[in-house]
Amino acid sequence: MQEMENFMQEAIREARKAANEVPVGAVIVKDGKIIARAHNQRETHGPLAHAEMLAMERAFQTLGERRLHGCTLYVTLEPCPMCAGGIIMAELDGCIFGAYDEKQGCCGSVYTLPEDAAFYHRVRCTGGVMEDECAAMLKAFFEERR
């Protein structure tokens, strides 16, 4: 559990870099080491620039392989349908997230896409790691916007 919290803390640090973006941060870990990190950049790089997608792309660049076997994604917010699909296609070993997204989360809330038996690769998802801290960061961001 301590290792999960350490990596989630790194994802939180990454989320804080998001400036005028929804504060979502992600890190990808392989063999106990962070090999990629990213934060949301949708406002500056377009609608597909979610933290998870950017981190998976950077992990691919680091490893030189599209299959991210042996890798685990840590992200501060439950992945959306697009990112959940990317998690499957990247063939990650696991997805660990902080805050649940009751409106569009697809790793346990609305749907559990990465664990659906219809797909050739399934990814185990674990939510609620440092949930209070992750949720508070998101809540503060949206309150500031109102």
Q: Say which DSSP state 14 is in.
A: H
Please list, in sequence order, all residues whose beta carbon lies within 8 angstroms of the beta carbon of residue 55, skipping any fewer than 6 positions away: 26, 27, 28, 36, 37, 38, 73, 75
**115 is a catalytic site residue:** no
Q: Which of 10, 52, 91, 115 is catalytic?
A: 52
Q: Which residue has the tokens 């990808």?
A: 28
Tokens standing for residue 116: 């659906």
Tokens standing for residue 88: 């499957």
Neighbours of 110 (CB within 10 A): 17
Positions annotated as catalytic residues are 52
